[in-house]
Amino acid sequence: MKEPVSSVKPAIHSFVDRFFGDAGLGDDDDMFATGYVNSMFALQLVQFVEGEFGVTVDSDDLDLDNFRTVSAIAEFVERKQAASSVAG
Amino acid sequence: MLSSSEIARRDEFRSFAAAEVAPRAAASDRAGALDDDLVAKLAGSGYLGAAIPREHRGPGMDDVTYGLLCEELGAGCSSVRSLVTVQNMVAATIARWGTAAQRDRWLPALASGDSVAAFCLTEPETGSDAGAVRTVFEDGGDDWVVTGRKLWVTFARRAGVFLVVGRAGGGPVAALVPREAAGLSLRPVDGQLGLRAAELAEVVLDRCRVPKANTLARPGFGFSHVASSALDHGRYSVAWGCVGIARACLDASAAYASERFQFGAPLRDHQLVRRMLADMQVATDAARLMCVEAGRLRTAGDPRSIEATAAAKYFASTILPGVTNDAVQVHGANGVDPEYAVERHFRDAKIMQIIEGTDQIHQLNLAEIALRGAP
């Protein structure tokens, strides 16, 4: 079932904020430009998105614009869930 | 810790390793290559491509069971474990980021053993700073034109396909390069300290033409997602391989200490020997527990699995200097004789502290985790 974006963003924050601590990551802050993330983070983010929201991140989805900010991830999740519900 | 079915599989792997792997390990070490018959048996048993999903005609072994296989193969011969490691890390990466055409082309062949895979990341000037690879992917229309040198490529001499990581205009890029690609050549590397049967070679890419259709993921994601996925998978296997080395050292030392008499008593009755056995036992069990935990998290698709895998590999590799040193010490002068497996394990152990992330790189990354949330 599709989650509204309003509940998706808090869920994303609950995951990514662990990596950014007191940096106070805003919805539109570029995570990859902060210098706070290491080489493991990109894969962990993919695993989180797939596990938390029940979507599959394909190689075609690997576009920084889908993962750069909390807002971008939320929009990506919403698009994937909408596509999945149409296909299903 | 393990289910009854996992224990049954472990026992199956242990029997295979005892019958087919360990008896050939010393000869393979001397020859600098694995026995083709053994590789065929690995493939025939479904162990070579163990973790390849069933939908791609692989055995579809789950994470913990795959780990147990790596422990048992690693206890017998780390070079054999290396073959399985690289086969599955490349296959997993193709399964994860490959197109349907790439999966159909490569995964059944890797599952059956008709093809062997190699992973090409390290270069003469690029080791731990893997994101700084210098191999160049130039735009050649429908092809990439690839130029660079890749060092210490495990089982390159046996490989039919190479996962090569380099750099293009769009950033890091990874592509599958068939053995027969024009411009690809090998220079065998021999005489390493350990993993001597891993059939290493330098892979030279001299304006090697590779179809762009062989690219894994988009340019720009060749390191952050493709190479990192491969390394994560390989790291998990290597962690278990470390446990295998430690377990083999413990078993050999316990047996030797029971058979060898000095001062009128078996070594096992000497308290200083018992201390070494106790330390080996605890270290091995602790490392295995971390590996099992990482495996459970991997199966659950939990993002923490990546950190747990790194921690397991770090811990498992850092116990090896102590465990293998004690094993040699228990064996006395026999411990430095190639007729005793602990001599080979002692040499192989050093390699484990370097591959799939050096201990120091893991320390840096694990410290970041420890510092999260700190003021």
Question: ipTM for the complex?
Answer: 0.89
Residue of B301, B368, B374 lying closest to A47 (CB–CB): B301
Q: Is pLDDT above 60 for A4?
A: no
pLDDT reported for residue A22: 64
Q: Does A37 touch chain B (CB under 8 A)?
A: no
Cβ atoms within 10 Å of B169's Cβ, excluding its own: 11
pLDDT reported for residue B340: 98
When mean pLDDT is compared across B11-25, B329-343, B361-375, the lowest value belongs to: B361-375
Amino acid at B232: D
Contacts of A7 (CB under 8 A, 6+ apart): none
pLDDT > 90: percent of chain B: 95
Residues of A in contact with B301 (CB under 8 A): 47, 50-51
Residue of B nearest to A45 (CA): B303
Give how far B315 is from chain A: nearest CA, Å: 18
Residues of B in contact with A22 (CB under 8 A): 375
Q: Classify residue B373 by burial, with Cβ atoms within 10 Å: 0-12, 13-18, 19+.
A: exposed
Task: Enter the pTM of the model.
Answer: 0.96
B307 is catalytic: no
Q: Is pLDDT above 60 for B123?
A: yes
Residue of B nearest to A21 (CA): B373
Residues of B in contact with A18 (CB under 8 A): 372-373
Interface of B with A (CB under 8 A): 97-99, 131, 216-218, 220-221, 223-225, 228-229, 232, 300-307, 310, 365, 368, 372-375
Q: Is pLDDT above 60 for B193?
A: yes
A20 band by pLDDT with thresholds 50, 70 and 90: confident
The backbone torsions φ and ψ at residue A79, rounded to the nearest 5 degrees and listed phi first, read -65, -45
The backbone torsions φ and ψ at residue B181, rounded to the nearest 5 degrees and listed phi first, read -60, 135
Q: Is pLDDT above 70 for B168?
A: yes
pLDDT reported for residue A32: 85
Q: Does A38 touch chain B (CB under 8 A)?
A: yes
**CB spacing of A18 vs B306 below 8 angstroms:** no
Q: Is pLDDT above 60 for A3?
A: no
When mean pLDDT is compared across A13-22, B22-31, B234-243, B315-324, the lowest value belongs to: A13-22
Residue entry with tokens 């056995």: B277
pLDDT reported for residue A56: 95
Residue range B93-121: average pLDDT? Answer: 97
When mean pLDDT is compared across A37-41, B46-50, B89-93, B319-323, the lowest value belongs to: A37-41
Give how far A52 is from chain B: nearest CA, Å: 9
Residues of A in contact with B374 (CB under 8 A): 21
Whether B67 and B238 have beta carbons less than 8 Å apart is answered as: no
* SS3 at position B264: coil
**CB spacing of B98 vs A59 below 8 angstroms:** yes
Cβ atoms within 10 Å of B231's Cβ, excluding its own: 26
Cα torsion B127, B133, B135, B138 to 10°: value is 170
Give how far B363 is from chain A: nearest CA, Å: 13
The rounded radius of gyration (Å) of the Cα atoms in chain A is 13
* SS3 at position B205: strand
pLDDT reported for residue A2: 53
Residue range B163-190: average pLDDT? Answer: 96
A38 band by pLDDT with thresholds 50, 70 and 90: confident
Interstrand relation of B117-120 and B161-168 (parallel, antiparallel or unpaired): parallel
